[in-house]
Amino acid sequence: MRKPMIAGNWKMNLLYSKVPEYLQTLNRELAANSRIRRDAVDVLLAVPAPFLGLAREYGEKHGILIAAQTIHEKPEGAFTGELSIPMLKDLGLRWTLIGHSERRQYYNETDASVAAKAKACLDQGINPIVCVGETRAEREGGQTEAVLKRQVEAVLRETGAASNFVIAYEPVWAIGTGLTATDEQAQEAHAFIRGILRQKLGGAAEALRILYGGSVKSSNIKGLMKQPDVDGALVGGASLDPVEFARIVDCQ
């Protein structure tokens, strides 16, 4: 039985000074909600690097996990602007996104660098949420499965039997566009990814969570979560409003 995870990704949005208010509202909304048991779902927020310490202070005491949005694979060095795994751990944090399509698209992250980051995380006790997904051209060209296979296998080759990560399937054409994959399209891709995990990891694949991401809102989460291989969601735009994000957590 996989515990669902609803993860928010603030990307480069909101402000440090708004963090306490956001998290107080989210905590209040989640607490006010009697339908979900708080320990029945993992709630996580990936926030901009400067907010990490403050977000932890306000979030984790209420059981909200705080994550970085990306991490460098090296522990230290001359890498201006980057965040290291020891820095994250020093803040008492244990989660990060890796390989988000915006990182792949705008910052030249490759299958190889994503795999190196995943390995560094697992080696050092950080839980990575590894993002994969095809572009619109790749889907239209019938390449979806080939792309997912390439992206997932690149990570598995590095991480091997230690592959204890969360995967986020985020079709690039559905991110920030208002276009969501249908429940069936999501299930199909998730089942395909689980098949790849099963081939490499055997029974351990059943315990790994695969989140769906791409224009998730409170109005479409229910159908997605009914799919047997959809174990949660990675929510961008709709996570910026704590009331709507709490609704998504409640609807799962």
Q: Which two tokens stand for residue 175?
A: 């991110």
Report CA-CA distances (Å) from 213 to 89, 201, 208, 235.
Answer: 26, 24, 16, 6
Pick from 170, 229, 231, 250: which binds ligand PGA (CB under 6 A)? 170
Pick from 123, 176, 206, 222: which binds ligand PGA (CB under 6 A)? 176
Pick from 215, 218, 220, 252: which binds ligand PGA (CB under 6 A)? 215
> Side chain identity at 164, as an amino acid letter?
N
The answer to whether 128 contacts ligand PGA (rule: CB under 6 A) is no
Of 186, 190, 184, 227, residue with least CA distance to 205: 190
Beta bridge partners of 232: 5
Task: Collect all residues with Cβ–Cβ distance below 8 Å to 20 and sequence separation of at least 6.
Answer: 54, 58
Pick from 59, 99, 237, 242: which binds ligand PGA (CB under 6 A)? 237
Pick from 67, 175, 193, 211: which binds ligand PGA (CB under 6 A)? 175
**Buried (b) or exposed (e) across 79-93, using 16+ Cβ within 10 A?**
eeeebbbebbeebeb
* Segment lying near ligand PGA (by CB under 6 A), choices 20-28, 63-71, 103-111, 211-219: 211-219
* Segment lying near ligand PGA (by CB under 6 A), choices 76-84, 108-116, 194-202, 232-240: 232-240
Query: How far, in Å, CA of 109 to CA of 49, rounded?
Result: 18
Pick from 235, 246, 248, 251: which binds ligand PGA (CB under 6 A)? 235
Query: How far, in Å, CA of 246 to CA of 43, rounded?
Result: 9
* Segment lying near ligand PGA (by CB under 6 A), choices 63-71, 111-119, 190-198, 214-222: 214-222
- The CB-nearest residue to ligand PGA is 236
**Closer by beta carbon to ligand PGA, 224 or else 234:** 234
Query: How far, in Å, CA of 118 to CA of 122, rounded?
Result: 6
**Minimum separation from the CB atom of position 235 to ligand PGA (A):** 5
Beta bridge partners of 13: none
Pick from 4, 59, 213, 232: which binds ligand PGA (CB under 6 A)? 213
Q: Under DSSP, is residue 96 helix (H, G, I), strand (E, B) or coil?
A: strand
**Minimum separation from the CB atom of position 215 to ligand PGA (A):** 4
Query: How far, in Å, CA of 80 to CA of 208, rounded?
Result: 34
Q: Which residue shows structure tokens 């689980």? A: 194
**Closer by beta carbon to ligand PGA, 138 or else 201:** 138
Q: Are 184 and 229 a contacting pair, CB within 8 Å?
A: no
* Segment lying near ligand PGA (by CB under 6 A), choices 19-27, 122-130, 139-147, 209-217: 209-217
- Residues between 8 and 37 with contacts to ligand PGA, criterion CB under 6 A: 9
Q: Give the catalytic positions in this structure.
A: 100, 170
Residues that bind ligand PGA (CB under 6 A): 9, 170, 175-176, 213-216, 234-238
